[in-house]
Amino acid sequence: MKVNTSLKAFREGRKTIGGWIAMPGLHSAEVMARSGFDWLVADLQHGLFGISELPQILTAISTTNTTPFVRVTHNNLPEINKVLDMGAEGVVVPMVCTEQLAIDAVNACMYPPRGMRSCGPTRVGQIGSEYLKNANDQVAVICQIETQLALDNAEKIAKVPGNDCLYIGPADLGLALGIEPTGATAEWQLSLYDNPIHQEAVTHTLNAAHSAGKACAMHIVGSGDFSKQLAQRYFDQGFDTVMLGSDKTFLTGGAASAISAAIKSSSA
């Protein structure tokens, strides 16, 4: 079984940059994986594909050095078991609000005696030798902090053995904090990063993770110079890793930028 390089970086305090896969299909996943990200999350919760399409996405990523993670739809042992058997090297678990939910997430990712994962490495058993021997030390458990209850329990969640990273979901967190959407959805999401209430919650989560010796990740919505500036800001603040953007945002941002440049050239 190969070393989970992104998890190794989390544990050693080295910075990494990730991306997000929301679009279906092998080719877009392959393009993202060959772009140089340290890790990619295939999003089952909000992405436009189902679990039956996940194997081709994970296969595409596994042809590169990029670490394949999966965000599951919810904190569910059978689903977590299945995506790991398909080849995910880590799981992003949404709506982890309590210490017990973090324990449940870890248990679903770990074989006995450390957890309750069932033995059936359907795909991973074919692509990696000694998988059962090493899986418990090479699977990343990433718990999302995105509610007020999660903020209240952030320290306890971070301290759960086997939980490797706290991952901030800024949009759900904003809604939970009572920051009401105004205007276009995209504009509201971007405004969250400069909202003082939101910033306080972000700092609280970062401190909780680092106090427990765990990594902390920030999810960035946007593209182009904006996302690069935000990434630098969060790295400067002390974040261990950032999600720089999704296949959708890179496609729409790149297309919009090219069209804008072409219009300017045509009117010059």
CA atoms within 13 A of residue 178's CA, in its CB half-sphere: 3
Residue with tokens 């219009």: 263
Letter string b/e over residues 69-86, b meaning 16 or more CB atoms within 10 A of that residue's CB: bbbbeebebebbbbbbbb
Residue with tokens 């919650």: 201
Residue with tokens 């999660």: 150
Q: Of 46, 74, 198, 204, which is the active-site residue? A: 46
Pairing of strands 140-145, 39-43: unpaired
Whether 46 is catalytic:
yes
CB distance 139 to 110 below 8 Å: yes
Please state whether 256 falls in left (phi above 0), alpha (psi between -120 and 50) or beta.
alpha
Cα–Cα distance measured from residue 71 to residue 142, given in angstroms and rounded to the nearest whole number: 9
Letter string b/e over residues 92-122, b meaning 16 or more CB atoms within 10 A of that residue's CB: bbbbbbebebbbbbbbbbbbeeebbbeeebe
Catalytic (active-site) positions: 46
